[in-house]
């Protein structure tokens, strides 16, 4: 695929990024002094508690919003707004309901004035990769949820972005479909090796996919820990959690996430803090 999909890579760097909303009693600090690097050719997966500020961070990287302080650069260029170099896939389906699978996938190149014939080979290649050969001429409402997501992956990849950002793209799918999606997505990633930044709250998904796991603190969020996941690819779902290495990473990550969740629970109310103190004493005695 490397000769079919030539994807230049983007190196994303965040330095001391902070973001807040509102003022006075509506003031809410969402990201605080967050520094991180997302390197090309490495599948970086960010995991953090729900509501910690992950999507906010993505909106900043995408250039939809600006940080209040700190800098975000891609290959050294400051992010000033949205750009063709970055492609963001959100959980919500964005397929055009009046277009077939094939036309949806060809949409991006067509929108910038390219002839379909020029991209048909690449489209067919991607359609095959995401297992939609039999569904080329079908419309989104004739596809299952998982097929729609696969169609979206192909639709994004045909644009050959430097950076692909995926914000919980498989949330809401049933477990079996989700697992299948991981395999399709990992397979596409193994072939294109663009800069991929994948955001999730699902620890199994994170470990199955990641080369590098970025664990976030609770809100206001910043990086709590970075763990390299040196498990060889291609990985197999059927056996990855039989590996001690995968389980050790899972335990370590869960421990950090649990501590973060406890901090937020504790700061929720005095009753919650008292409960945790009493509980911790009971557990340790
Ligand atoms: P996550 O994606 O990790 O679940 P989000 O980034 O969506 O978290 O949201 C983090 C917090 O930021 C939430 O508490 C949300 O209320 C707050 N937030 C996000 N956008 C805004 C906004 N435009 N105005 C005020 N608060 C916001
Ligand atoms: Mg989110």
Task: Using pLDDT thresholds of 50, 70 and 90, give the confidence band for residue 192.
Answer: confident
Mean pLDDT of 250-269: 84
CA of 50 to the centre of ligand 2 (A): 7
Nearest to 168 by CA among 202, 218, 194: 202
Ligand 1 test: best mutation among 23, 26, 28, 221, most atoms within 8 Å of CB?
28
Which region among 40-44, 75-79, 193-197 has the lowest average model confidence (pLDDT)?
193-197
Which ligand is in closest contact with the Cα of 30? 1
The pTM of this model reads 0.87
What is the CA(54)–ligand 1 centre distance, in A?
Answer: 8
Q: For residue 199, which atom of ligand 1 is closest to its CA?
A: 2
Mutate to test the pocket of ligand 1, among 26, 55, 60, 261 (most ligand atoms within 8 A of CB): 55
Q: At what angle do helices 145-157 and 175-192 cross, to 10 degrees?
A: 10
3-state DSSP call for residue 224?
A: strand
Query: Which residue in the block uniquely carries the two structure tokens 């048909």?
Result: 120
CA-closest candidate to residue 43, choices 189, 156, 173: 189
* Position with higher pLDDT, 278 vs 144: 144
Determine what percent of the chain is predicted with pLDDT higher than 90.
56
53, 27 contact by CB (below 8 A):
no
């Amino acid at each position: 695929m490397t000769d079919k999909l030539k994807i230049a890579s983007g190196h994303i760097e965040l330095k001391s990024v902070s973001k807040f909303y509102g003022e006075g009693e509506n003031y809410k600090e969402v990201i605080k002094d967050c520094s991180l690097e997302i390197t090309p050719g490495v599948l970086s997966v960010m995991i953090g508690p729900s509501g910690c500020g992950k999507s906010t961070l993505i909106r900043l990287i995408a250039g939809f919003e600006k940080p209040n302080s700190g800098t975000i650069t891609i290959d050294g260029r400051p992010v000033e707004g949205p750009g063709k170099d970055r492609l963001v896939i959100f959980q919500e389906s964005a397929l055009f309901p009046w277009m077939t699978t094939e036309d949806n996938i060809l949409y991006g190149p067509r929108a910038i004035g390219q002839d379909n014939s020029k991209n048909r080979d690449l489209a067919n290649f991607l359609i095959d990769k995401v297992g939609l050969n039999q569904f080329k001429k079908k419309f989104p409402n004739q596809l299952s949820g998982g097929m729609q997501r696969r169609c979206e992956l192909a639709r994004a990849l045909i644009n050959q972005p430097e950076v692909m950002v995926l914000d919980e793209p498989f949330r809401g799918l049933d477990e079996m479909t989700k697992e299948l999606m991981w395999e399709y997505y990992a397979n596409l990633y193994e072939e294109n090796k663009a800069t991929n930044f994948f955001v999730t709250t699902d620890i199994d998904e994170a470990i199955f996919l990641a080369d590098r796991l970025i664990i976030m603190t609770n809100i206001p969020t910043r990086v709590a820990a970075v763990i390299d996941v040196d498990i060889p690819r291609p990985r197999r779902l059927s056996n990855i959690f039989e590996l001690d290495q995968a389980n050790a990473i899972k335990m370590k990550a869960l421990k950090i996430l649990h501590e973060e969740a406890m901090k937020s629970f504790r700061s929720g109310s005095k009753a919650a803090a008292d409960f945790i103190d009493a509980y911790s004493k009971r557990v340790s005695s």
